């Protein structure tokens, strides 16, 4: 099946041009339309919703447009995104990306933390799994604006979204990397690495601007 793919930078350029978001306008949108799930400062009200605080704005706007066009499917987020203009997306992303990271999650489940840490830091070359830190950084803070920040994300959401990524149809070029990685991860691996990653104190990315 031929699928048109673009890099996240090209996708954002086509969707948003060189425009940047406005934090104050974004705050108003967030209070009206997002805070009931993602929190006023991006720390989600339930672990089934992703935290958006300190997430890179490049990642946030790309995902919002993917929801709006239906390229990323979600019965909850698609109707939300359909009501947003491109400027609204830039503004909401500017606001959430400027918020301080939330508190990481705690776990004392060594049976999950130990193999999760190993996958995160070293991967598993025999099974064709690269270390997550190559792209997501040691603390789970993205190393470049084409990657999402994953440290301190809710363990339930991490497990859920890795399951989605394992099966979804990709339009963002770099996401093929995740798809390739995930074909080699078992559900036990996903649970372990999600538990570990949720405990990381991901520093706020240095460069929150769109690529
Ligand atoms: C009713 C709850 C709800 C509301 C309201 C809501 N969201 Fe979401 N949001 C979700 C859920 C659930 C997901 C995970 C969707 C999935 O992948 O299936 C999500 C995912 C996202 C993602 C992708 C995050 C990631 O890490 O991949 C972004 C960005 C986002 N929401 C932004 C927003 C913005 C901006 C608003 C307000 C304009 C908003 N959301 C309103 C529940 C909500
Ligand atoms: C070569 C780079 C690369 C490596 C290595 C990598 N990732 Fe990713 N990851 C990405 C990219 C790019 C995306 C964005 C995919 C998209 O949604 O389009 C992503 C997305 C994710 C997301 C979704 C984040 C969100 O908020 O929706 C999670 C979780 C994740 N990766 C975890 C991992 C784990 C765990 C590993 C190690 C087993 C890993 N990644 C290894 C590049 C990488």
36 lines ligand 1 (CB under 6 A): yes
- Predicted TM-score of the model (pTM): 0.92
**Residue with CA closest to ligand 1 atom 34:** 34
pLDDT, average across residues 181-199? 93
Q: Which residues of 148-176 are buried (b: 16+ CB within 10 A; e: fewer)?
A: bbbbbbbbbbbbbbbeebeebebbbbbbe
Looking at residue 114, its pLDDT comes to: 97
Looking at residue 165, its pLDDT comes to: 78
Looking at residue 206, its pLDDT comes to: 46
Answer yes or no: do 73 and 117 share one domain.
Answer: no
Cβ-proximal residues to 60 (8 Å cutoff; 6+ apart), any chain: 52, 89, 92, 93, 96, 97
Answer yes or no: do 63 and 92 share one domain.
Answer: yes
Percentage of the residues of the chain whose pLDDT score is greater than 70: 89
Answer yes or no: do 79 and 133 share one domain.
Answer: no
Distance 34 CA to ligand 2 centre (A): 24
Chain centre to alpha carbon of residue 80: 17
pLDDT digits (tens, 9 = 90+) for 119-169: 999 999 999 999 999 999 999 998 888 889 999 999 999 999 888 777 765
Looking at residue 205, its pLDDT comes to: 59
Give the burial class of 52: count Cβ atoms within 10 A of its Cβ; 0-12 exposed, 13-18 middle, 19 or more buried. Answer: buried
191 lines ligand 1 (CB under 6 A): no
134 lines ligand 2 (CB under 6 A): yes
Q: Output the domain CATH number for residue 118.
A: 1.10.760.10
Q: Name the E strands within 105-195.
A: none
77 lines ligand 1 (CB under 6 A): yes
3-state helix, strand, coil in the chain (%, to 5): 50, 0, 45
Q: Which domain holds residue 92?
A: 8-97
Question: Which of 129, 148, 191 has most ligand 2 atoms within 8 Å of its beta carbon, as the pocket-test mutant?
Answer: 148
Predicted confidence band of residue 209 (pLDDT cuts 50, 70, 90): very low
Residue, of 169 and 32, whose pLDDT is higher: 32
pLDDT digits (tens, 9 = 90+) for 80-108: 999 999 999 999 999 999 999 999 999 99
Answer yes or no: do 67 and 123 share one domain.
Answer: no
Looking at residue 210, its pLDDT comes to: 37
Ligand in nearest proximity to the CA of 144: 2
Q: Are 157 and 50 in contact (CB under 8 A)?
A: yes
Predicted confidence band of residue 5 (pLDDT cuts 50, 70, 90): low
pLDDT digits (tens, 9 = 90+) for 40-78: 999 999 999 999 999 999 999 999 999 999 888 888 999
| 100 vs 53: CA distance, rounded Å | 6
Mean pLDDT, the chain, whole residue set: 88
190 lines ligand 2 (CB under 6 A): no
Answer yes or no: do 120 and 174 share one domain.
Answer: yes
Single residue among 97, 127, 158 that ends a domain in this structure:
97
Total domain count, the chain: 2
Residue 207 lies in a domain: no
Answer yes or no: do 62 and 140 share one domain.
Answer: no
pLDDT digits (tens, 9 = 90+) for 107-116: 999 999 999 9
Distance 183 CA to ligand 2 centre (A): 13
What atom of ligand 2 comes closest to residue 119's alpha carbon? 38
Looking at residue 2, its pLDDT comes to: 38
pLDDT, average across residues 17-36? 97
Sign of CA dihedral 6, 98, 162, 47: negative
Say if residue 1's pLDDT is above 60.
Answer: no
Which tokens hold the place of 200? 């990381």
Predicted confidence band of residue 204 (pLDDT cuts 50, 70, 90): low
């Amino acid at each position: 099946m031929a699928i048109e793919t673009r890099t996240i930078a090209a996708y954002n350029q086509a969707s948003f041009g060189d425009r940047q978001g406005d934090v104050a306008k974004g705050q108003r949108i967030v209070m009206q339309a997002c805070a009931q799930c993602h929190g006023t400062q991006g720390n989600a009200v339930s672990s089934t919703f992703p935290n958006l605080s300190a997430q890179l704005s490049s990642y946030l706007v790309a995902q919002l447009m993917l929801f709006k066009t239906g390229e990323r499917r979600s019965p909850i987020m698609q109707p939300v995104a359909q009501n947003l203009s491109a400027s609204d997306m830039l503004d909401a992303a500017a606001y959430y990306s400027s918020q301080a990271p939330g508190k990481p999650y705690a776990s004392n489940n060594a049976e999950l933390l130990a193999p999760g840490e190993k996958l995160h830091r070293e991967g598993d070359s025999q099974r064709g799994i690269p270390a997550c830190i190559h792209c997501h950084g040691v603390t789970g803070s993205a190393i470049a604006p084409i990657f999402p920040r994953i440290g301190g994300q809710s363990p339930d959401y991490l497990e859920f979204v890795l399951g989605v990524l394992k099966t979804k149809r990709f339009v963002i070029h770099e996401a093929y990397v995740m798809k390739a990685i995930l074909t080699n991860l078992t559900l036990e691996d996903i649970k372990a690495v999600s538990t570990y990653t949720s405990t990381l104190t991901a520093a706020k990315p240095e460069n929150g601007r769109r690529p």
